[in-house]
Structure 1
């Protein structure tokens, strides 16, 4: 297994519009941003964990919780800023072999999933690793079937799986990302690409109030399951 230097980076803005100030809003018993920080700090493979934000309040929260504060420029804090831009700015200032982006909008991730993701990086030689969920379903693009034939109906478990990118966890090799960016190429999907499948119940991406309710329900169900297991032990 490769002994890479891996840095954890948690992107967080204060100016979210679809869910107002979602990173400091409480989900269950703690603010949303704390889920990603706790998850990253709980993994010993990271040489350091940084919250990448323009906001001093978020930076102070990150430091109180044990992470470090990388203050991104204000021009990379608006809705039009892309992960290509703020990841590039971060990598120019931090030395590592890989950066792993842990999204605050994925609070349902479990520790064993991020451990498996990092081991996948260490065992391979990818330039980019994307987290995905695999689904077997009848999929259309516009009016054309992609994964099945209209001439027959077969059970979904026999269909070829599709991989949906969920952005819960993403890794980039620093050297390759920066070199592609310098050439004016898009490094987000660049180089040798690895796809790491995560459980579907961990892939919820909090972009709307509906997503928030789904996450609340899942966390509540996990807590009740944990309590019932303790009761029957």
Structure 2
């Protein structure tokens, strides 16, 4: 059995009620749920939350909420790994036999079903892998980054690379923060890591990646979503 687990706690600080705040007239979490369901990758789409309002909306859009997350796993300091491990343990108590799990973040309105499908195929066709996760290429060479000193002056981050042409520098990537496909055994094993030698990236185009942490991020993502929808790209 393959499951999607969407962590969605109720205590967002920078954007209150972030996971269910209307994004282009639909609750934010609805996009993650609907994309997961439409991908047909999963036997179950589960939302892990400590909030009844989030749970009710999640159910309205087709997800299951078979347990409520304890408050000890819903504070500002608990990492995603602990939340996923708890969710897996809870659903395994119900007798579900799990093979693969995909952690999907709730604030991913630009995520595409095709990306989930491609990442799943990569994971299943490469048994040596533990994880396949969403990533995106940096739009500017990070080797040519600059640092600002306390007095306002500038220090070159990498003196060896600063004078090189962009095309002569290796491409670098960052976590796109959309999804993390993995073996259930890997999620349950503290010795494994998503960003390690047994992982591969599902590289996304930059226009499908939006980190939504502030109101400015949110408004920018809404405009991007509208543009991409008008162009038929999502």
Whether the TM-score (by the shorter chain) exceeds 0.5 is yes
> Which residue does the alignment assign to 1:104?
106
Q: Is the 8 A contact 1:52 1:71 kept in 2?
A: yes
Select the residue among 64, 67, 82 that pairs with 1:68: 64
Structure 1 match to 2:152: none
Residue 87 in structure 1 maps to residue 84 in structure 2: yes
- 1:32 is aligned, of 28, 35, 40, to 28
Query: Shift of residue 129 of structure 1?
Result: 2.1
Question: Unaligned regions of 5+ residues in structure 1, if any?
Answer: 228-233
In the alignment, the residues of structure 2 paired with residue 145 and residue 104 of structure 1 have an alpha-carbon distance, to the nearest angstrom, of: 34
TM-score by length of 2: 0.83
Aligned partner of residue 55 in structure 2, secondary structure: helix
Alpha-carbon distance in structure 2 between the residues aligned to 1:146 and 1:195: 25
Structure 2 alignment gaps of length 5 or more:
92-96, 148-154
Equivalence for 1:230: none
- 3-state SS, counterpart of residue 90 of structure 2: coil
Distance in 2 separating the partners of 1:85 and 1:141: 35
8 Å Cα contact 1:8-1:40 kept in structure 2: yes
In the superposition, relative to structure 1, how do residues 43 and 12 fare at CA in structure 2: closer, same or farther (>3 Å)?
Answer: same
Tell me how far apart the structure 1 counterparts of residues 78 and 193 of structure 2 sit (CA, whole Å): 15
- Equivalent residues of 1:6, 1:98 under 8 A apart: yes
Q: Which 4+ stretches in 1 moved above 6 angstroms?
A: none
Conserved 8 A contact 2:39-2:114: no
Q: Does 1:163 align with 2:142?
A: no
Q: What residue in structure 2 maps to residue 47 of structure 1?
A: 43
Q: What is the alpha-carbon distance in structure 2 between the residues aligned to residue 78 and residue 93 of structure 1?
A: 19
Residues 62-211 of structure 1: matches in 2 within 5 Å? 62-69=58-65, 70-94=67-91, 95-125=97-127, 126-135=129-138, 137-139=140-142, 140=145, 142=147, 143-146=155-158, 149-150=161-162, 152-154=163-165, 156-178=166-188, 180-181=189-190, 185=191, 187-189=193-195, 192-211=198-217
- Paired with 2:160 and 2:132, the residues of 1 have a C-alpha distance of 28
Taking structure 1 as the reference length, the TM-score comes to 0.84
User: In 1, distance between residues paired with 2:125 and 2:185?
Assistant: 18
Query: Matches of 1:118 and 1:149 in 2, distance apart?
Result: 36
Q: Following TM superposition, by how much is the alpha carbon of 1:130 offset from its aligned partner in structure 2, in angstroms?
A: 2.3
Q: CA deviation at 1:59?
A: 1.1
How well do the aligned residues superpose, as a CA RMSD in angstroms? Answer: 2.3
